[in-house]
Amino acid sequence: MKLNKLLVAAIVVFGLISCGDEAQKKEEVTESSEINADSANIKVYIIDTTLSSIKWTGSKPTEEHFGTLNLLPTIVELNGKQIVHGDIAVNMQSITVSDIEDKESNAKLLGHLKNEDFFNVEKYPEAHLVVLESRVDPDQNIMMVDLIIKGIQTSVEIPYNIEYEEKQVVINGFCSFDRTNYDIKYKSKSFFSDLGDKFINDEIKLDFSIVLKEFNDN
């Protein structure tokens, strides 16, 4: 009799354990399905360099200058209106000055921007915005990126919005960065106190419009 009771108890315990395992497996399957369903919404795009643009703006007390930069054809992954991942590469050797019409003055500033005092484009031909993650806010999206200039990396948050058009996706945004964080100290009053009003502001502004087309690796 005792043996039978022990046998029944063992069967009940085994049954409970089996049910628990089945429940756990079902939960794991459900979670996995959700992840796969979410992953299924991710689409891969490539930057259309002919339609994309970046405008830079720098300033000093008496004036400001601006110009453009070109992007390289890198991959961006989207999930709806969120950027999931992307390494947005900027061709630093493509930098131009747009506001100075005089050819000699334009060439002088452009050469200065390209040399060691500023971006040293021969040694550092690319800058990168590496998207780490993004979130959706009520008014606009925010992407958290590692901004890499002259091989130096800092983290910044960039507001942006996404518009889906017939055959392309357009990402518009704005950000600014402190050039001294990237070892660009030329005429910075943060490092030189005797410049008077001859200093150049540390902040550089970027306005960007990135046009994406669906990536086809065939």
92-97: average pLDDT: 98
Out of 3-7, 77-81, 87-91, 151-155, pick the least confident.
3-7
Question: First CA to last CA across the chain, in angstroms?
Answer: 72
Cβ pair 117, 110 in contact under 8 A: no
| 3-state SS assignment for residue 112 | helix
Instruction: Considering only residues 93 and 140, tell me which one the structure prediction assigns the higher pLDDT.
Output: 93
90 closest CA partner among 140, 150, 132: 150
114-119's contacts with Cβ under 8 Å and 24+ in sequence apart are 117/184, 117/186, 118/179, 118/184, 118/186, 119/92, 119/95, 119/149, 119/150, 119/184
Helix or strand run (H / E) with residue 157: strand 152-164
Residue scoring higher pLDDT (36 or 113) = 113
Distance CA 191, CA 210 (A): 35
Overall size of the chain counted in residues:
218
**Which residues neighbour 134 within 8 Å (Cβ) at sequence distance 6 or greater?**
82, 83, 84, 141, 142, 143, 144
Residue-averaged pLDDT of the chain: 85
Separation between Cα atoms, residue 103 and residue 23, nearest integer Å:
74
Q: Which residue has the higher pLDDT, 5 or 92?
A: 92
* Position 136 confidence tier, pLDDT thresholds 50, 70, 90: confident
Q: Considering the entire predicted model, what is its pTM?
A: 0.78
Q: 68 forms bridges with which residues in the sheet?
A: 55
Segment among 25-29, 138-142, 206-210 with least mean pLDDT:
25-29
Domain spanning 41-214: CATH superfamily: Lipid/polyisoprenoid-binding, YceI-like (2.40.128.110)
Phi, psi of 210 (to 5 degrees): -110, 120
Q: pLDDT digit string (tens) for 19-73? A: 444 444 444 433 333 333 366 689 999 999 999 999 999 999 989 999 999 999 9
Helix ranges (H only) for the chain are 2-40, 103-114
| Residue corresponding to tokens 């334009």 | 106
